[in-house]
Structure 1
Amino acid sequence: MKLGKDITLWGLELGLLSMARGEAARFWFSPEYAYGRRGCPPCIPPDTTVLFHVELLDFIDSEECDLFFELSEVQQDMFPLEKVLKVAATEREFGNYFFHKQNFRVAKHRYKRALSVLGHSCSSEAEQSQVNTSKVPLLLNLSLTYLKLECPKRALKYGEKALEMDQGNVKALFRCGQACLCMKEYSKSRDFLTRAQKIQPFNRDINNELKKLERYYEEYVGMQKEMCCRMFASSCG
C-alpha cells in the first residue's frame, strides 16, 4: 500500500499498514513516533505523546504493481494477462486519485504508465479484446486530462484512439468534439458532437456543448465579417 504525501508521521504510517479497509482504530504515539523533540508549533509542544483516532475508508493496494515494475521487460511480457490487467487497473486508480486532487500532470503520468503495461503481447483475439476493453477508459481519461491541461491537440489524439477501438463510444466522440472546439475547428467539432447526439439525443452535456459550438461559431463569423468590412473600407479610402 502506498501512502499519500500528507502522511508524515512514522507512527501513523505503521498504524495504517496494520489496518484493514473500513476499520477504525485509536493510536497512542510516543514522541519518537510522532512529532519528536521539536513538536509542531504552535499546537503541539516538544516531546509530546499524541492520540490519533483513525478510520481507514479506502486505500489502493500497489503491491502487485511494485512487483511488476521490478521485473525485466521479458519477465513482464511473460506475466499472466489477468495480473497485467490488475496492474493496469491499479495504475488507473492512482491516476483517478490524482485527477480528483486536480494534479493533472501526475494523473497523466499514471494513465500513460497503465497504457504501457497494456502493451502486453496477446496470444488470441479474446485476450486482445480484454486488453482493448481496459485501454478505452484509459484513453478517455487521458483525453479529458489533456483538456484540463489545455492541450486540445493531444486530447483529440487520445479520443480518436479510443474511437479506433470503439467507434460508437459517446464519451470519445464528446471528448473529440470538445478538443476540436478548443482548437476552433468548428466543422470537425460539430461532426463529432452530432454523432454523439444521435446515440444519446437527450444527453445534457452534449446538447450544451453543441449550443456552445453554435455560439462560438456565430461569434467567429461575426468577427470575420467585421474584419472584411474594415479591409474594404480601408482600401476604398
Structure 2
Amino acid sequence: MSGNGFISSIRRLIDAEEQRRISHRQPSPFEQLRQQMSDVLGDGGILKEVVQSGEGPPVPQNASVLVHYSGFLEYSDRPFDTTTNFRHPRMMKLGRDMTLAGLELGVLTMQNGEFSRFLFQPQYAYGDLGCPPFIPGAAAVLYEVQILDILDSGQVDDFVALGPEEQNTVPLSRLLEVVNTLRSFGNRCFNQSRYANAKDRYKQATRLLWTREMQSDAEKEKINTALLPLYLNLSLTELRLERPQKALKFGNKALEIDSANTKALFRCGQAYLQLQEYESAQGCLVIAQAKKPFDSDINNLLRKVAQCLKDNLDKQKDVYSKMCRDLRGSMKI
C-alpha cells in the first residue's frame, strides 16, 4: 500500500510539474494569432484578421479578383508562395484559378481594397499529405491577402450563356454593366502589355453591343456611347500589335460616332503614319490640333509627320534628279 501510495504521489508531482510547464510555455506564433482572429465558418478551420478594411460589398461568387497574396508556415518569416514579386498582380477567377479551398472561401468574405490575414487548418489548406517538400503534412498555414480590384466576371458569364433572343430581353443597363466589365478586363490586359488578350475582351464587348436590337433613338445613343471608347481602345491595341490597317478601321468607326473626337483623329494619324501615308496622317492631325492646339502628343506627332513628309519629298527629288541625269547622259550618247 505504502509503495503504491508513494508511486501515486510521484505521479501527482510529475503531472503537476507538467501542468506548470504547459502553463508557463510561451504560446506559438499561430496560437498568438488565433487569439485576435475571428472564426469565418464556425468550425475553427478558417480564422481571419482584418488588417486594413475595404469598401463596398463582399467579393461575389465567380468574380475575378486582382489580388496579392503570400503564404507562410509557422516559425517562418519567408513565404513559401507569393505574388508580390510579380511585376503585375494576378487576376484570378474564383472557381477556377484558386486551388486552395480556404483561400477562395476567405476571399469571398473580403471587400475591394481590403488587406487581411487568414489562418487555415489543414483541411482548408494542403490536407494531411501536405505538399512536399515545401509544406509538411497536416500543417496549418497563414495567408496574407490584399484585394486590389474586383471584376464581376460571373455576371459576364451568365449574360454570355444566354441565347441572342434572351440577351435582347435583358434590360440595357445590365448589358452596359457587362460591357463595362469586359472593357475593364481589356484595360487590365493592355496595361500588362497583353495586347492580344485585351483585343479579345474589347471585341467581345463590341459584339454584344452590335447584336443588341435597339428599341429607340435613346437606346441607340447609349449603345454608341458605349461603343466609342471600345473603338478607341481597339485602335490603340491594333497599333501596339503593329496592325495599322485595322487600327485605322476602328479609328474611323469611332469618327463615325463622333467626327470631332480628337483621340480618334490622333489614332488615325498614328495609323496613317505607320502606313507611311503622310499626307493623310497630317490631315487628321491638323484637324485634331485645331481642336486641341496645346496638346503635346498631337503637336509632337504632327512635327514627326511633317519631318517624314519632308524626307519623303527629298527622296523623291533625288530620284527625279537621278532620272534626269541618266536621261541627259543617254541623249548625249
The structural deviation recorded for 1:51 is: 1.6
Is 1:132 equivalent to 2:224 in the alignment?
yes
SS at structure 1 position matched to 2:214: coil
User: What SS class does the counterpart of residue 227 from structure 1 fall into?
Assistant: helix
Deviates more, 1:58-67 or 1:121-130: 58-67
Select 2:131's aligned residue among 30, 38, 48. Answer: 38
CA distance in 1, matches of 2:189, 2:241: 13
1:38 alignment partner AA: C
Q: State which drifts further: 190-199 or 114-123.
A: 114-123
Please report how far the alpha carbon of residue 34 of structure 1 lies from its aligned counterpart in structure 2 after TM superposition: 4.8
Q: Does 1:57 align with 2:119?
A: no
- Contact 1:9-1:34 at 8 Å conserved across structures: no
* Alignment-mate amino acid for residue 306 of structure 2: E
The 1:59/1:227 distance shift into structure 2, 3 A limit, reads: same
Which residue number corresponds to residue 72 of structure 1?
163
Selected match of 2:260 from 168, 173, 181? 168
The alpha carbon displacement at 1:219 in A equals 2.0
Q: Take 2:318 and 2:103, find their aligned partners in 1: how far apart are those partners?
A: 65
Deviation at 1:8, TM superposition (A): 4.9
Q: Is the 8 A contact 2:64 2:92 kept in 1?
A: no
Q: CA deviation at 1:227?
A: 3.3
Unaligned runs of 5+ in 1: none
Classify 1:233/1:45 alpha carbon distance in 2 versus 1 (closer, same or farther; 3 Å).
farther
Cα deviation, 1:75-106, whole Å, max 9, x if unaligned, reads 11111111111111111111111011110001
Preserved CA contact (<8 Å) 1:9 1:33: no
Report the Cα offset of residue 216 of structure 1: 1.6
| 1:13 CA drift (Å) | 3.0
Which residue is equivalent to 2:179?
88
The TM-score normalised by the length of structure 2 is: 0.65
Aligned residue in 1 for 2:249:
157
CA RMSD of aligned residues (A): 2.2
Summarize the Cα distance change of 1:87–1:5 in structure 2 as closer, same or farther, 3 Å threshold: closer
Aligned to 1:57, what secondary structure does the other structure show?
Answer: strand
Q: Which moved more, 1:15-24 or 1:76-85?
A: 15-24
Counterpart residue number, 1:114: 205
Distance 2:194 2:258 in 1: 28
Indicate the structure (1 or 2) with the bigger Cα radius of gyration.
2
In 2, distance between residues paired with 1:226 and 1:16?
68
Q: CA deviation at 1:121?
A: 1.0
Residue deviations 1:183-236 (CA, integer Å, cap 9, x gap): 011111011000000100000000000011012222222233333444455553
Kept after mapping to 2: 8 A contact 1:87/1:117 = no
The whole-number CA distance in structure 2 between the counterparts of 1:103 and 1:185 is: 28
Residue 58 of structure 1: how far off its partner (Å): 1.7
Cross-structure match for 1:17? 108
| Structure richer in strand, relative to its length | 2
CA change 1:49–1:215 in 2 (3 A) is: farther
Q: Give the Cα separation in 2 of the matches to 1:196 and 1:157.
A: 18
User: Distance in 1 between the 2:124 and 2:146 partners?
Assistant: 19
Call closer, same or farther: CA 1:231–1:5 in 2, change over 3 Å.
farther
Choose from 288, 292, 302 the match for 1:196. 288
* Cα 1:232–1:31 shift into 2, 3 Å: farther
State the partner residue of 1:181: 273
Provide the C-alpha distance between the structure 1 equivalents of 2:220 and 2:314, rounded to a whole number of angstroms: 49
> 2:227 matched to 1:227?
no
Tell me how many residue pairs correspond in the alignment: 234
Give the direction of change, closer, same or farther, for the CA distance of 1:223–1:12 in structure 2 (3 Å limit).
farther
Q: Identity of aligned pairs, percent?
A: 42
Q: Which moved more, 1:168-177 or 1:62-71?
A: 62-71
Give, as a single letter, the amino acid of the residue that structure 2 aligns with 1:193.
L
1:100 aligns with 2:200: no
Deviates more, 1:121-130 or 1:215-224: 215-224
Answer whether contact 2:202 2:234 (CA < 8 A) is retained. yes
For 1:113 and 1:17, the matched residues in 2 are separated by 27
What is the alpha-carbon distance in structure 1 between the residues aligned to residue 316 and residue 188 of structure 2?
Answer: 44
SS in 1 for 2:64: coil
